[in-house]
Structure 1
Amino acid sequence: MDHRTLIASLPTETKFALIARSDSAGLRHLGLYGTALAACTIGILLQVPLWPLLILPQGLLLVFLFTLSHECTHQTPFKSRWINEAVGHACAIPIALPFVWFRYFHLAHHKWTNDPARDPELAGKPRPDSWPSLLAYLSGWFYWRGMVQTLLQNAFGRIDAPYLPQRQHAAMRREARVLLALYGLGTLSLIYSPLLFWIWILPVLIGQPFLRLYLLAEHGLCPPVANMLENSRTTFTTRIVRFLAWNMPYHAEHHAFPNVPFHKLPQFHTLTRAHLKSTSDGYAGFTTSYARAMHRDPIRSSSG
């Protein structure tokens, strides 16, 4: 059964229940997430005992704002559109991910999921197929370089990707210029104080490899087919990881029915589990499988 057949088989009342959005569920999750981030930030600023140990969780909480931004592009974390928009734009600042641009980039990814020629997440480039390329990918170098190029292109160059609607070009140009201005001010502040280095720059650099590994599992080793239950992976993991990633380890479910908000994905998973084609038992398990596939068949690991 493919994802279209599965969704069509669901009773109408079930589908309506699954896509019901909730400000309270989203704000509750955001409140807990924000509390954890604030606690780490304050601990670093006050240099509490063993405060350097807080840099890793700080980095994880910052870089995994990507998953919240991603959800906001779908307008699903919160019922109120304005909250989704405000949170999406706020997430852009610490991770250099312009929200308006990312919305259309991500919609194109959903349309052409895992298609090597048309999925903009691949952009004609293979996934890591050797240890040097895997280490370079996990370092986050390609992400940071790509985001700098995107911001500069959107701010001062020509916006010409076919999936970016012309009516949004002005908004993309404004958001890129605002973000660049903020980063310029942040850079200047380092002359007077190293605070931003300890609570933002170093943490996001340290946290990025964990996000890259998480993202690699979403579609790595999955075939380039149209069935979302096959071209996307669900990873069975801990409650902490699911919390950090806003339940996006249920990734095949998300691609099968993107209108389902994060807090309903576990419920939707009970309806899809028997039909999932690509799954892994934890991210360590996926990494082991990827390393073996890379060693055994580099072409499969890079295109799958």
Structure 2
Amino acid sequence: MDDARPLPPVSPPPASPSGRRAALDRQTLKALSAPSDAKGLRQLAGHLALLALTSASVLWSGGSLWLAPALIAQGIVLVFLFAPLHETIHRTAFRSRRLNDGVAALCGFLLLLPAGYFRAFHLQHHRFTQDPARDPEISGPPLSTRPAYLLHVSGLPYWGERLVTTWRHAMGRTPEPYITSRLRPAIVREARLHLAAYGLAAGAGLLAGGETLLLLWVIPALIGQPVLRLYLLAEHTGCPQIRDMLANSRTTLTAAPLAALCWHMNLHTAHHAYPGLPFHALPAADRLLAPRISLRASGYIAVQREIWRRLTPA
């Protein structure tokens, strides 16, 4: 999941805005909020083209020394399918609901994160951002020590949680408060379909006798997950636990290639202030909101350094 279990919160800056949404006027918001199939498809095509390129590099590298960097590149591009998954569960990547739901299902399958479940989880996060009692992203003890940070960044807790939760849902057990009685049948069915499809994929891979599935999916996903964990940690870790969306989320400035790979979700404050904005509107929204955004980091390395500095050694 994209939870970070944040550090003990800092106090909000005194200049932070008082209202959750008192920033963009209605006319501006309406102009920015229009989703576009064309823009969404272009963005998705670019991401998939890059994935095809890294996949080809893995296959062409064979057993040479180029295999390691090819697997790293494949893993990073693969795990950042989290970006279109996130955008499509908001149903803002495309105007077409069918396109949004189809892309979400595919990306969720590849990341072991069923789209229907993730939508319920993530919308709860948006409703109660940084609320320790109700935000599912910050349930559990804070990430307060360096060993806990390193374990989190490894991605191992993510994979363990995904396997356990998906299995539990497939068994019909859905104790999460955000899984309502209306959503429960679909989420249970979705988990069962995922497990069946993973079983079929594993069986097909074994029968084929090749390493393609491992080289293009399993190993890269394991390698790439730490990069995604570091990226996601920057969104809320150490931000104030208050309701002000312009203060409880962090915007992280980064190079254009990474901004494109994460579908501009580095502009996370604008997204939380106005979650109905499509990804392509976030740069414009960020420019308009910039004077009111409390936390703007100069890069992901700077954020991780600050997180590490505040952690206790053990």
TM-score with structure 2 setting the length: 0.89
Give the equivalent residue in structure 1 for 2:58.
44
Alignment of 1:1-304 (within 5 A): 1-2=17-18, 4-7=20-23, 10-47=24-61, 50-126=66-142, 128-191=143-206, 192-295=209-312
| Separation of aligned partners in 1, 2:82 and 2:19 | 25
The structure that is helix-richer by fraction is: 1
8 Å CA contact 1:253–1:269 kept in 2: the answer is yes
CA drift of 1:182 comes to 1.7
Report the 3-state secondary structure (helix = DSSP H, G, I; strand = E; otherwise coil) of the residue aligned with 2:214. helix
Report the 3-state secondary structure (helix = DSSP H, G, I; strand = E; otherwise coil) of the residue aligned with 1:231. coil
8 Å CA contact 1:117–1:124 kept in 2: the answer is no
CA drift of 1:52 comes to 3.5
| Separation of aligned partners in 1, 2:96 and 2:47 | 19
- Give the aligned length: 294
Q: Report 1 or 2 for greater relative contact order, CA contacts < 8 Å, sequence distance ≥ 6.
A: 2
% identical aligned pairs: 40
Of residues 248-257 and 65-74 in structure 1, the stretch that sits farther from structure 2 once superposed is: 65-74
| Separation of aligned partners in 1, 2:215 and 2:178 | 37
Report the 3-state secondary structure (helix = DSSP H, G, I; strand = E; otherwise coil) of the residue aligned with 1:229. coil
| Separation of aligned partners in 2, 1:37 and 1:45 | 12
CA drift of 1:174 comes to 1.5
8 Å CA contact 2:35–2:95 kept in 1: the answer is yes
| Separation of aligned partners in 2, 1:200 and 1:86 | 20
Report the 3-state secondary structure (helix = DSSP H, G, I; strand = E; otherwise coil) of the residue aligned with 1:232. coil
Report the 3-state secondary structure (helix = DSSP H, G, I; strand = E; otherwise coil) of the residue aligned with 1:4. coil
TM-score with structure 1 setting the length: 0.92
Structure 2: stretches of 5+ with no match in the other structure: 1-16
Q: Aligned AA for 1:221?
A: G
Q: Aligned AA for 2:178?
A: Y
CA drift of 1:131 comes to 1.6
Q: Aligned AA for 1:119?
A: D
CA drift of 1:12 comes to 2.5
Report the 3-state secondary structure (helix = DSSP H, G, I; strand = E; otherwise coil) of the residue aligned with 2:22. helix
Structure 1: stretches of 5+ with no match in the other structure: 299-304
